[in-house]
Amino acid sequence: MSVIVKGKDISYSYDFGNSAYALRNVDLSIAKGEFVYILGCNGSGKSTLVRHLNALLKLQHGALSVAGFDVANENDMWQLRRICGMVFQNPDNQFVSSVVEEDIAFGLENYEVPRTEIPAKVNAALQVVDMAGYEKRATNSLSGGQKQRIALAGVFALDPEIIIFDEATAMLDPEGRREVLAMMRKLHDVGKTIIAITHYIEEAVHADRVILMHEGAAIASGKPQDILTDVQLLKQAEIMPPMPVRVYYDLLSLGIRLSSCPLTDEELAEKVCALRSKI
Ligand SMILES: Nc1ncnc2c1ncn2[C@@H]1O[C@H](COP(=O)(O)OP(=O)(O)OP(=O)(O)O)[C@@H](O)[C@H]1O
Ligand SMILES: [Mg+2]
C-alpha cells in the first residue's frame, strides 16, 4: 500500500517554545485508503497534528508530506487544502452560505471549477451524503446530522483524497452520530483515506488503525483490538477503555474469564452467553 501521509519528528509550539509544546517529535505514516482514528485526552495534540496536514498550521519543526506535497511549501497550500478536506465539530461554523446548494458550490467556485460543471458536482456530492433533494433548503433548517452531511458534501465535492473529521460527531445526538459514521464508512469504501478524531472511543473499534496521543506525543499505534484492550496503555493516555473491555476486566477480577477481551457490545453479549452455556 502506498503511503499518503508521511511525517517525521514534528514538533509544534503555539508560542514558539515559551511554554509546553503542543506536539513533540511526532512521526506519522498513513497509507492511502487507510481508516485511522487518533485518540487522546483533551489537549493531547490531536487537532494540532491534523491541522498540519492541510497547512492550517505552519510546520515549525520536522518534515511532513501529504499526497506527495511538502506542507512546508506555501505555494502548494491551496492544492493541499483541496486534497485534504476537513470536517469540524460545529457544522454551523463551516457554512458560508445559508442555502445548501450555494454552500457546496462556494468551494467549487473558489477553486475555479467551470460554472457549467458546478451543478453536476453539487448533485453528485449531495447524492453521496444521501441528501439529494435538499438543494434549496436553508442550512439552518437542518438537523445536526444533516448539517454535518452537508458540510461533508462541501468537502467531498472538491474530490479530496483524504478527509479529516475532527470531532465531527461531538455535537450530535446518537442518530446524528450514526448518520455521520455511516458516511465516513461509505467514503472509506470508495477509497478515501479517512482520519478521524473522537472522544467516543467505541467509534474507533472498526478502524484499520488507532494512533494514541498523550502530551503532544504519539505514544502508540496499532490495530483497535490491540490498542483498545490495553488498559495500562489507555491509562497512560488518560483514556477510559471501551465499556466491553471494562466489563471484561471487572468480570476477571471476580474470577470470571471470558474467552477473550471483547471490543463491541455484540462481542461482549456473545461471550457472556457462551459463558452461560458452560454453567
Ligand atoms: N490556538 C491555540 N493557542 C495556544 N495554545 C493552543 C491553541 N490550540 C491548542 N493549544 C494548546 O495546544 C495543546 C494541544 O491542543 P490540541 O487542541 O491540539 O489538543 P486536542 O488533543 O485536539 O484536544 P481536545 O480533545 O480538547 O480537542 C494544548 O495544550 C492546548 O492548550
Ligand atoms: Mg481537538
Which amino acid appears at position 181 of this protein?
A: L
Backbone angles phi, psi at 6, to 5 degrees: -135, 110
Distance CA 21, CA 11 (A): 7
Are 180 and 152 contained in the same domain?
A: yes
Statement to judge: residues 199 and 86 lie in one domain: yes
Q: Does one domain contain both 10 and 27?
A: yes
Kindly state if the Cβ of 42 falls inside 6 Å of ligand 1. yes
Q: Are 11 and 25 in contact (CB under 8 A)?
A: yes
Grid cell locating 179 = 448518520
Residue 44 three-state SS: coil
pLDDT of 187 reads 95
Q: Are residues 151 and 270 in the same domain?
A: no
Shared domain for 148 and 261, answered yes or no, is: no
Model confidence, pTM: 0.95
**Alpha carbon 250 to chain centroid, angstroms:** 30
Rg, C-alpha atoms of the chain: 20
* pLDDT for the residue 20: 83
Same domain (yes/no): 165, 256: no
Cell numbers at residue 245, please? 473491555
Residue of 39, 44, 166, 212 best suited for mutating to test ligand 1, as the one with most atoms within 8 Å of CB? 44
The predicted structure's pLDDT at residue 279? 60
Ligand 1 within 6 A of CB of 44: yes
247 touches ligand 1 (CB under 6 Å): no
Tell me, what's the pLDDT at 278? 67
Residues 6+ apart with CB under 8 A from 10: 23, 25, 26, 27, 28, 49, 52, 59, 61, 62, 63, 64
Q: If you measure from the C-alpha of residue 237 to the centroid of ligand 2, how many angstroms do you get, rounded to a whole number?
A: 15
- Which among 234, 262, 264, 267 is positioned nearest to 248, based on CA atoms? 262
Residue 161 corresponds to which amino acid?
E
Among candidates 41, 12, 10, 17, which has minimal Cα distance to 215? Answer: 41
Whether 182 and 237 map to the same domain: the answer is yes
Q: 43 C-alpha vs ligand 2 centroid, how far in Å?
A: 7
Whether 234 and 263 share a structural domain: no
Tens digit of pLDDT at every position of the chain (279 positions) = 799 999 999 999 998 767 789 999 999 999 999 999 999 999 999 999 999 999 999 999 999 999 999 999 999 999 999 999 999 999 888 899 999 999 999 999 999 999 999 999 999 999 999 999 999 999 999 999 999 999 999 999 999 999 999 999 999 999 999 999 999 999 999 999 999 999 999 999 999 999 999 999 999 999 999 999 999 999 999 999 999 999 999 999 999 999 999 999 999 999 999 987 766
Ligand 1 pocket, residue 47 CB under 6 Å: yes
The boundaries of the domain holding residue 255 are: 242-279
Question: Do residues 86 and 139 make contact, with C-beta atoms less than 8 angstroms apart?
Answer: no
38 plus 61 within the same structural domain: yes
Q: How many domains does the chain have?
A: 2
The residue type found at 179 is: E
